[in-house]
Structure 1
Amino acid sequence: MKKLLLFLVIIFSSLSLSAQKINGSATFKTAGSIPMKLESAEITPEQKKRIEERMSKAMQKEYTLSFNRNESLYEEVVALEKDGQRGMRFLSMMTGASGTYYRNLKESTIKQEQDLFGKLFLIEDSIETLEWKLGKETKSIGNYICNKATAERVFVVSKTEMIEGEVKDTIINDTVEIVAWYSMQIPVSHGPGKYSGLPGLILEVYDGQTTVLCTKVSISTTEAAEIKIPENGEQVSRSEFEKISREKMEEMREMYGGSRGGRGGHGSMEIRIGG
C-alpha cells in the first residue's frame, strides 16, 4: 500500500509539472578523492596524511545548476583560495571539475568554458550519451523521491608511477560504473556536469571517485531561469582538449620532477583527464 501511494505521489507530481513550463535552479556539493599511493623513506606518515587531506579538500566544491526543459548551465561557485590551496587547483583544471558547462537537449550539444593553466578554452561537442539502466531502488533526497539508475562510462586516465626513483607515465582507459539518483517529480533530463538523459533531474551521482549531491532545489513555473551560453576561450572539441591536457601534464612532470623521483621511492597517482 505504501509503495502504491509513493508511486501515485511521483506520477501526479510529475504530471502536474509536465503540463507547465519548468524553470529552476539547484545547488550541488562535491566530495571525493584521487587514487594515490605513496611509499618513500622521504615521506613520513604525517606528510602523507596532510597530502591526502589537501587533495580531498581540493575535491570539495559547490556548483549551481540553472535549467529549463531544454537548456541547463552548470557553474562552479568560486570561493576565495586559502593559503596552500593554489597548488591543488591544477587538479580541477585537469579533471574538468571547474569552469562553466552548458547543455542544449534540443540540439544535443554542449559548450564548456575550461581554464587550463591560465588559458581559457571553449569546448564545443555533442552531448555524451550513456546507456542508463533504470533500477527499482528508491530513496529520498531532501523533499524528493529518487530512483536509481546505473551506466558504464570510460574515463581517460593519466597514471604516474614511481618505482625505485624512476617515473613512468601511462595513459589508460578505465571503465567505471556510474550510479545516479534522479527524481521524476522534476521532469527535466538534466543533471550535474556531463550527466543527463534520465526521466527526471539527477540529484546525486557517484563516479567511483566523486560524489555530487544536490542540497537545494528551487522550481518556478513563471520566472525564467537565467542561462547564459558560454562563448569565451579558444574553441576546441572534447578530444582536442583532452590531448592538450595530456601534453600539459607531461610538461608539468618534466618541469617539476624530470624522469627521476626520490631515492628509492615507490608511489602512484591517477588523474582523470577531462572529467
Structure 2
Amino acid sequence: MKKIFFAFIVTLGIFEVHAQKEFQGMAVYESKTSTADMKNQMGKNKEITPEMQKLIEERMKGMFEKIFVLHFDRSSSVYKEEEKLDAMGGQGQGGMRMMSSMMGGGGTFYKNVKDKMYSVDKEFMGKEFLIQDSLPQLQWKMESETKQIGGYTCYKATASKPVNMSDFRNFRPKDQSKEAGKEEKKETEKKTNFMDDFELPKEILITAWYAPEIPINQGPENYWGLPGLILEVSDGKTVILCSKVVMNTKEKATIKAPKTGKTVTQKEYDEIVMKKMEELREMGNGPGGFRGMRMGR
C-alpha cells in the first residue's frame, strides 16, 4: 500500500510540473502616450514652424500609439510590439527605430517572476544592447476600488516607481512657477531646443488594475507583483490597456530570454543613451527640432 501511495504522489508531481510547463496564455495591450504637453511646447517655440510641427506630429504618432502582445506561462513572459508596415517607405528607419525604442517599443521584453529578473534587447545608434537586470520591487498599495475590463473584475493598486532615464515617455513639462525668475534670461537667449521645457522626475505614480480571476503574477512591460494579471496600468501620461485575453492558447509561443547584444545593466544603458543624446544636442542635432532623427528628410 505504501508503494502504491508513493507512486501516486510521484505521478501527481510529474503531472503538475507538466501542467505548469504546458499552460500558456496571451494578452493584447494598446499603449497610448499623451502628446498634449509636447504639442503645446512646440507651439510656443518660434524655431518650429506650423508645417514642421505637423510633420513631426505625423512622424511621431506611431511612436505614441502602439500595440503589444504578452505571452505568458506561470513564471515567465515575453512582451513584444506588434510589427507594423513601414509607412515611410524605408526612409529614416534608423532614427525612427531609435526613437521607437525610447518610447517603450522595440525588442523583446522577457520577465521571469520566479527569478525576479528581466532582459530586453534594444537597438540604439546602430548598436545592439542586451539589458539584463532585476525586476523592480514596487511597493504596491492595494485599493478597494474596482472596475470592469474586458469582462473581468479588476482591483486598483498604486505604487511610486523610479523613472527609467532612457524612456522618454517619462519626461514631464517643467513647473513654470519655478521657471518664472529665469524668463528674463531666456528672452535674451536664442531657444532652439524645446526639450529644455521638460524635465525628468525622480519618481512617478503608477496606477494598475489587476484581475484576480487570472491568477498570474504578470503584466505589460516590467510591471508585475500583483495577485492577478495586470490589465491596465497608467503613469499619468502613458496608459497601457488590455484589449484581449486568451487563456490556455492552443498554439504555444516561445517564451525565452533574448540573447543578442552587448550585455549591460539598466543603469549602464540609461547612461549610454543620455550621454549620446547630450552629445547630439550639443552638436545641434538632438531632440530639439528633431533634426537628428532622420524622419524622412
In 1, the alpha carbon distance for the partners of 2:125 and 2:276 equals 8
| Aligned with 2:136 (options 128, 137, 141) | 128
SS at match of 2:128: strand
Unaligned runs of 5+ in 2: 1-18, 175-184, 290-297
Query: What corresponds to 1:234 in structure 2?
Result: 262
Equivalent residues in 2 for 1:231-270, closer than 5 Å: 231-257=259-285
- The structural deviation recorded for 1:215 is 1.1
Is the Cα contact below 8 Å between 1:123 and 1:236 reproduced in 2?
yes
SS in 2 for 1:61: strand
1:177 aligns with 2:205: yes
For residues 111-155 of structure 1, the C-alpha deviation after alignment (integer angstroms, 9 at most, x for no partner) is: 111111221111111111111111111111112111111111121
**2:80 matched residue in structure 1:** 75
Work out whether 1:219 is the aligned partner of 2:247: yes
2: CA distance, partners of 1:154 / 1:53: 30
Matching residue of 2:223: 195
**Does residue 117 of structure 2 align to residue 109 of structure 1?**
yes
CA distance, structure 2, for counterparts of residue 206 and residue 125 of structure 1:
23
Q: How far apart in 1 are the matches of 2:173 and 2:251?
A: 49
- The CA distance in 2 between the partners of 1:138 and 1:222, in whole Å, is 31
Q: How many residues align?
A: 241
**2:52 equivalent to 1:24:** no
**CA distance in structure 2 between the aligned counterparts of 1:93 and 1:222, rounded to whole angstroms:** 31
Q: Quote the Cα distance in structure 2 between the aligned partners of 1:41 and 1:241.
A: 34
| Pairing of 1:8-157 with structure 2 (within 5 A) | 21=20, 22-34=23-35, 35-36=37-38, 37-38=41-42, 39-45=44-50, 47-52=52-57, 54-83=59-88, 86=93, 88-155=96-163, 156=165
Name the CA distance, whole Å, in 1 between partners of 2:47 and 2:55: 14
Which moved further from structure 2: 249-258 or 58-67? 249-258
Q: 1:160 to 1:198 in 2, by over 3 A?
A: closer
Report the Cα distance in structure 1 between the residues aligned to 2:114 and 2:265, rounded to whole angstroms.
19
Q: 2:190 aligns with which of 165, 179, 185?
A: 165
Q: Report if aligned partners of 1:29, 1:63 keep a CA contact under 8 Å in 2.
A: yes
SS in 2 for 1:247: helix
The Cα of 1:75 is off from its aligned counterpart by: 0.9
- Residues 172, 201 of structure 2: 8 Å contact kept: no
2:116–2:135 Cα contact (<8 Å) kept? yes
Once the 2 structures are TM-superposed, how far is the Cα of residue 221 of structure 1 from its aligned partner? 7.9
Q: Which has the higher helix share?
A: 2
Pair 158,149 (structure 1): closer, same or farther in 2 beyond 3 Å:
closer
**1:122–1:243: structure 2 CA closer, same or farther, 3 Å change rule?**
same
1:185-218 residue CA offsets vs partner (Å, 9 max, x unmatched): 1101100001110000001111122111111111
Alignment of 1:204-215 (within 5 A): 204-215=232-243
Contact 1:33/1:56 (<8 A) preserved = no
1:106 Cα deviation from its structure 2 partner: 1.4
TM-score when normalising by structure 2:
0.71
- What is the CA deviation profile of residues 1-39 of structure 1, one whole-angstrom value per residue up to 9, with x for unaligned ones? xxxxxxxxxxxxxxxxxxx74410111111113542122
Partners of 2:282 and 2:24 in 1: CA distance: 48
- More strand by proportion, 1 or 2? 1
Deviations 1:37-58 (A, max 9, x none): 1223343446435534543432
Identity of aligned residues (%): 42
CA distance in 1 between counterparts of 2:237 and 2:61 reads 11
Q: 1:158 to 1:151 in 2, by over 3 A?
A: closer
Q: Is the 8 A contact 1:130 1:152 kept in 2?
A: yes
Please tell me whether the aligned partners of residues 158 and 246 of structure 1 are also in contact (alpha carbons under 8 angstroms): no
Indicate conservation of the 8 Å contact 2:63/2:103, yes or no: no
